[in-house]
């Protein structure tokens, strides 16, 4: 009866919600990645728009100011800027430019400490179950420098692998896992080497995803993102038995110039469109996929946006889930 009255009086139906989990330890750069993604979206897409709610907008614009203010040759960074200490939901409305929004995208961020607190861990697991995709930012210098000496401590691949063991059971439809190396400006001169190190650093997780039961259901892609673009890793110094990662800006006048910030969203939308075209249905995505079917213009705009190629992406497995 409620839906009938909404139709009669032309009251907008509640938008379908796409959940994406931002997964990783505190300080790895999750919020900085999302801020750069939001900031640059309008520069790479004219037919689609990503509109944050007021709380999200204020928080991300504050983070962007911090990113843009990085300057000098002795920048000490852990996670890009000050880490998020509380769980936070970043809410966006997504749709065609000049039209009413078509769906909501909810990026959920968690403090890394929650992975070690049983009560909080259950909340993380539940949201992952309800998410079409998981976005895992990777602290690239921790992975790449000193033979990955600080990778386990900063990126916690073992803890993430154990989490997926508990959550990715009896999946009712495909899921997408995006590995997104950030603070990777230094290493993009040789992206092939970076991809190799990511696969080795997350080998246990990738072995799990490549198992007989999960291989058809879990798509995995590596998408490096340069969240600042002009701040380069410099060195590690130990102080009070703790590593301090230093970065530099070659010239104070070098502009804030992020690169490939939209690529994770391209693959997320491409993944959704593929599921729609294959007529996949499940409790997590049914309303979103049905909406694609009813809105040809949106489907075509998403197809055009998600078809853009990048030479700095590697599809690790289940590439068929991106073929449209």
Fold designation for 13-322: Rossmann fold (3.40.50)
- Say which residue the tokens 């300080």 belong to: 27
Q: How many Å apart are CA 296 and CA 181, to the nearest integer? A: 34
Neighbours of 76 (CB within 10 A): 11
Beta bridge partners of 175: 218
- What does the chain come to in residues? 324
- Say which residue the tokens 């990048």 belong to: 310
Token output for 67: 């990113």
Beta bridge partners of 90: 107
Yes or no: say if 112 and 152 are a contact pair by the CB < 8 Å rule: no
Q: Minimal CA–CA distance to 94: which of 54, 48, 36?
A: 48
**Helix 286-294 / helix 263-277 crossing angle, nearest 10 deg:** 80
Diameter of the chain measured on Cα atoms: 68
Q: What is the pLDDT along the chain (324 residues), one digit of tens a residue?
A: 444 444 444 445 688 889 999 998 877 888 888 988 898 898 889 999 999 999 999 999 998 888 888 655 556 555 444 445 567 899 999 999 999 998 899 999 887 777 777 778 888 899 899 999 999 999 999 999 999 999 999 999 999 999 999 999 999 889 999 999 999 999 999 999 999 999 999 999 999 999 999 999 999 999 999 988 888 889 898 888 889 888 888 887 788 888 999 999 999 999 988 888 787 666 677 888 887 888 889 889 999 998 877 778 999 999 999 987
Q: What is the DSSP letter of 90?
A: E
**Helix 296-306 / helix 263-277 crossing angle, nearest 10 deg:** 130
In Å, how far are 134, 136, 157, 282, 316 from 210, measured between CA atoms?
Answer: 16, 17, 16, 22, 9
Name the residue ranges covered by the structural domains of the chain.
Answer: 13-322
- Cβ-proximal residues to 304 (8 Å cutoff; 6+ apart), any chain: 47
**pLDDT at residue number 178:** 97
Neighbours of 132 (CB within 10 A): 22
**pLDDT at residue number 324:** 79
Residue 235's Cα: distance from chain center in Å? 26
pTM for the full predicted model: 0.89
Q: Dihedral (C-alpha) 214, 218, 219, 225: value to the nearest 10 degrees?
A: -120
Q: How many Å apart are CA 149 and CA 305, to the nearest integer? A: 38
Token output for 35: 């801020």
Token output for 266: 């391209």
Yes or no: say if 65 and 39 are a contact pair by the CB < 8 Å rule: no
Q: Minimal CA–CA distance to 238: which of 150, 308, 163, 319?
A: 150
**Helix 30-44 / helix 54-68 crossing angle, nearest 10 deg:** 100
Alpha helices in the chain (DSSP H): 2-8, 30-44, 54-68, 118-129, 140-144, 151-155, 157-167, 191-201, 203-209, 263-277, 286-294, 296-306
């Amino acid at each position: 009866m409620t839906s009938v009255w909404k139709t009669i009086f032309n009251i907008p139906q509640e938008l379908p919600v796409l959940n994406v989990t931002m997964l990783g330890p505190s300080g790895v750069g999750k919020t900085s990645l999302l801020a750069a993604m939001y900031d640059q979206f309008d520069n790479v897409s004219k037919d689609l728009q990503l509109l944050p709610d007021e709380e999200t907008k204020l928080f991300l614009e504050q983070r962007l100011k911090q990113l843009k203010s990085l300057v000098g040759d002795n920048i000490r960074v852990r996670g890009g800027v000050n880490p998020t200490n509380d769980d936070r939901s970043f809410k966006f409305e997504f749709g065609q430019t000049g039209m009413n929004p078509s769906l909501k995208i909810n990026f959920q961020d968690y403090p890394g400490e929650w992975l070690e607190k049983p009560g909080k861990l259950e909340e993380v697991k539940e949201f992952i179950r309800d998410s079409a995709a998981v976005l895992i930012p990777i602290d690239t210098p921790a992975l790449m420098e000193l033979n990955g000496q600080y990778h386990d401590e900063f990126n916690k691949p073992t803890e993430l692998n154990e989490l997926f063991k508990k959550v990715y059971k009896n999946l009712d439809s495909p899921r997408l896992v995006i590995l997104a190396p950030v603070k990777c400006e230094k290493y993009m001169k040789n992206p092939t080497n970076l991809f190799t190190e990511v696969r080795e650093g997350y080998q246990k997780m990738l072995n799990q995803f490549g198992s007989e039961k999960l291989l058809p259901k879990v798509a995995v892609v590596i998408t490096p993102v340069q969240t600042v673009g002009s701040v380069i890793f410099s060195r590690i110094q130990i102080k009070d038995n703790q590593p301090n990662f230093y970065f530099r800006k070659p010239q104070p006048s070098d502009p804030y110039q992020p690169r490939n910030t939209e690529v994770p969203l391209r693959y997320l939308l491409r993944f959704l469109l593929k599921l729609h075209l294959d007529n996949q249905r499940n409790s997590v995505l049914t309303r979103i996929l049905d909406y694609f079917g009813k809105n040809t213009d949106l489907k075509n705009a998403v197809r055009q946006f998600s078809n853009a190629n990048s030479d700095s992406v590697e599809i690790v497995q289940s590439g068929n889930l991106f073929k449209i």
